[in-house]
Structure 1
Amino acid sequence: MIDTRRLRTLRAVADHGTVTAAAAALHLTPSAVSQQLAALEHEVGHRLLTRDGRGVHLTAVGRIMIRHANEVLAQLERAQAEVAAYTTGAAGEVTVACFATAISAVLSPAIARLREETPGLRIRVRDAEGDHGLTMLLDGTADLTIAVEYRGAPDAADRRLSLLPLYAEPFDLVLPHDHPLATGDPAGAISLGSLGEETWIGPYPGNPVHDVIAFACERAGFTARFAHCSDDFRAVVALVGAGAGMAVVPRLALRDMALSGVVVRPAPGPERRVFAAIRRGADSHPLLRPLLDALLAVAGPLGGD
């Protein structure tokens, strides 16, 4: 009999690439993770992992086990959802991992709605930038995450997750007030192709927004030269105001922000597509369904799909 806890451990190692990182995510010691993997290999009768420098890779049998682990764990999520639906109403706690802009734009208004509509539902919020929210979801430290699409992000075919598109957000170009392109029609869009020689300010590589901007610049025919990096958009805008360069920023991130010393123009091309994700099989959980419905209701006016 294969222990499902060991399947979760195997999937965590596959997701994180090292025993040490998987142990940290699972709140176990590396020794405990290694012991669980060894026990799973004994149960299966085959090697599941091979070492490659500091990391590990799945063997052919390991890949087979991961495929079945995704199905088994999704079925367990469905079982837990049915039991919860049978034994309780929509009362309990849900942990949500979400990046800062979406906390302000959709999660906080959704929580306000739920306080009226589903008062027994308690939401715990964890700020998670980049792809950290997806990691928390897969590790079981979050029940739902709100994240941004990027190259390499999970898609609808991922057997571990169920995805729900929320909204698509345009970007704006932020320029120093004395920049030659800062004059003219305030509503007039500026082509990204005209910015190839500019000094860029933006998020660090690895942040999904950096990836969205870089891909849009590549499509416009150039590689953006990021001279200054910050994952805090207020810091990015402050640097633009100081004349350190220009930036392309998600529109909602500029909402309610002091924009002294800068000029904002529409930037056609880049778009931040935001989605909610839960573990596959948890779709009908009575605590998650009201939250998903509230998120969709709030996201609709923002450009929901």
Structure 2
Amino acid sequence: MLDVRRLRLLCDLSRLGTIAAVAETHTYTPSAVSQQLSALEREAGTALLERTGRRVTLTGAGRVLVTHAETVLAALERTEAALAAASSGPSGELRIGAFPSAISTLLTPALVTLGERHPALDLMVTEIDPAAVPAALLDRRLDVGLIQDYDVVPQQWDPGLDSVPMLDEAVHLAGTGPGTDLSDHRDANWILATPGTLCHTATLQICRAAGFAPRGRHRVDDFGTVLALVAAGQGVAMVPQLATGRLPAGVTLLPLPTRRRTRVAFRRGAASHPAVAAFLSTLPADRDRKLTRRRLAR
């Protein structure tokens, strides 16, 4: 019989790439992870890992087992959800991960509604970059989280996750000076997000498509601060529509040739869990989630 906890470690190794990373995720020692994976190999009766010095890669059998293990883990999520649904209504902790502009505009009203409908739920919100949400969900540090992609930076999500659409919005260049095309700002100072974030990558891709690399002057992740810097003449920046509800005086928006999509993600099999289902039920209908260029022009 294959041990489920060891299967989870194997899936984490496939996702994270190193035994050290798996150990850090689970607060184990690398030696303990190696011992558990060796025990899993004995249970499977075949080699699952290839070891070359300090490097470890999955064998063909290891990759096959990971694929089936994802199905097993999803089935366990569905089982836990069914057990929770068979008891009382939504209760206990619901750990939610979201980026700042979504917390203030989309998530706060949903939390109020959720608290009124299900007072037994203990809602816990963590500010987190969308790029870090998949790992936090798979590591069970979050129960639901907001993930994103842009037309210019499409994402391939982990097979251990499911998601539903939440928002589709336009993206703009915020500035204060003249310019009717993105290339007009090739020599401007830019306010960029932190390298490694999705927003930073999307900005680089958009500018690259226009034939230049942005000259970064400031690195800021909070869009409210970004717009304040733009209004102060400190540079231009890429901002999504969600962040422009209170546009500072003097800041203008130039539509860019991309859109940003936000989805609510959760572990595969967890959609029917009472707490997760309750959270999803508070989201607006699809027709209310689209922020179009026509609305931006108002």
* TM-score, normalized by the shorter chain, greater than 0.5: yes
- Give the equivalent residue in structure 1 for 2:155: 153
| Identity over aligned pairs, percent | 39
Bigger Cα displacement from structure 2, 30-39 vs 70-79: 30-39
List gaps (5 residues or longer) in structure 2.
293-298
Instruction: Give the 3-state SS of the residue equivalent to 1:287 in structure 2.
Output: helix
Indicate whether 1:303 and 2:290 are aligned: yes
1:264 to 237, 240, 252: 252
Instruction: Give the 3-state SS of the residue equivalent to 2:283 in structure 1.
Output: helix
* Counterparts in 2 of 1:253 and 1:163: CA distance versus 1, 3 Å: same
Partners of 1:269 and 1:93 lie apart in 2 by: 40
- Give the equivalent residue in structure 1 for 2:280: 292
1:245 to 222, 226, 235: 235
* Counterparts in 2 of 1:55 and 1:294: CA distance versus 1, 3 Å: farther
Q: Give deviations 1:146-205, integer Å, cap 9, x for gaps.
A: 1112546334xx531111010012223222x4x333xxxxxxxx4324333433221123
How many pairs are equivalent?
290
- Give the equivalent residue in structure 2 for 1:87: 87
Indicate whether 1:165 and 2:153 are aligned: no
Q: For residue 255 of structure 1, what is the amino acid of its counterpart?
A: G
Per the TM alignment, residue 256 of structure 1 is displaced from its structure 2 partner at its CA by: 3.9
Instruction: Give the 3-state SS of the residue equivalent to 1:180 in structure 2.
Output: coil
Indicate whether 1:279 and 2:281 are aligned: no
Partners of 1:101 and 1:217 lie apart in 2 by: 23
Partners of 1:232 and 1:52 lie apart in 2 by: 43
List gaps (5 residues or longer) in structure 1.
182-189
Normalised by the size of structure 1, how large is the TM-score? Answer: 0.84
Per the TM alignment, residue 304 of structure 1 is displaced from its structure 2 partner at its CA by: 7.6
Is the 2:100–2:222 Cα contact (8 Å) retained in structure 1? no
Partners of 2:154 and 2:7 lie apart in 1 by: 23
- Give the equivalent residue in structure 2 for 1:184: none
Instruction: Give the 3-state SS of the residue equivalent to 1:205 in structure 2.
Output: coil
Q: For residue 228 of structure 1, what is the amino acid of its counterpart?
A: H
Q: For residue 13 of structure 2, what is the amino acid of its counterpart?
A: V
- Where do residues 54-65 of structure 1 align in structure 2 (5 Å cutoff)? 56-65=56-65
* Counterparts in 2 of 1:53 and 1:233: CA distance versus 1, 3 Å: farther
Per the TM alignment, residue 254 of structure 1 is displaced from its structure 2 partner at its CA by: 3.5
Is the 1:81–1:286 Cα contact (8 Å) retained in structure 2? yes
Q: For residue 262 of structure 2, what is the amino acid of its counterpart?
A: V
Q: For residue 42 of structure 1, what is the amino acid of its counterpart?
A: R
Instruction: Give the 3-state SS of the residue equivalent to 1:131 in structure 2.
Output: helix
Instruction: Give the 3-state SS of the residue equivalent to 2:101 in structure 1.
Output: helix
Indicate whether 1:202 and 2:192 are aligned: yes
CA RMSD of aligned residues (A): 2.6
